[in-house]
Amino acid sequence: MVRSIVRLLLPLLCALALQAHDLSLQIELSPPVVLVHAVYGGGQPVANSRVYVGSPVEPDKLHQTGLTDSLGYFAFRPSSPGDWLIAVDDEMGHRQEMTIQVPDPFAAASSAPAPAGPSRFDRALLGIALIIGISGLWYGLRTRRA
């Protein structure tokens, strides 16, 4: 009886252990950079692992290489739109590759104009309100003394 239960559960436990070390990539397009987050199946970050980035302009050459940080993050700045190849290798048998599409106006979102400050009318209104408020305090204090 116990042997049959062990035979039934052993493949399931092995499958769960293997899934815990699957490597997955989460990509975030955050102009002007692409943010890569590498994690194992169990949610543990893939720290200090090799990252290879391939450009759509020169697919046979590496655009950039580097290492993930201690939390599994790596960022790069794409030089052109197109299909970029990203590969993360922990050099212990786990490797994941992914191709992402970088849109054409990718950098345009980062150069958005700064929000406008108060208008000339708003500043004038504020100045008048301050003058009236300070005058009211001044005259209120003078009448209290008398």
Q: Give the distance, in angstroms, between the CA of residue 101 and the centroid of all CA atoms in the same chain.
A: 16
> What fold is seen in the domain 18-108?
Immunoglobulin-like (2.60.40)
Q: Which residues pair with 66 in a beta bridge?
A: 51
Measured between alpha carbons, how far is 51 from 96 in angstroms, rounded to an integer?
10
For 71-122, how does the pLDDT look when each residue is reduced to its tens digit (9 = 90+)?
999 999 998 899 999 999 998 888 999 999 998 877 644 444 555 566 778 8
Q: Domain residues of the chain, as ranges?
A: 18-108
Give tens-digit pLDDT for 18-47.
Answer: 444 588 899 999 888 999 999 998 889 999
48: confidence class by pLDDT, cuts 50, 70, 90: very high
pTM above 0.95, yes or no: no
Nearest to 94 by CA among 19, 27, 36, 26: 19
Render pLDDT for 118-136 as a digit per residue (tens, 0 to 9).
Answer: 677 888 888 899 999 999 8
Regarding predicted confidence, which is higher, 13 or 40?
Answer: 40
Count of C-beta atoms within a 10 Å radius of residue 130: 10
- Which pLDDT belongs to residue 69? 95
Per-residue model confidence (pLDDT) at position 21: 54
pLDDT of residue 145: 81
Cα gap 49→61, rounded to integer Å: 20
Edge-to-edge strands, sheet with 73-76 = 23-30, 33-40, 73-76
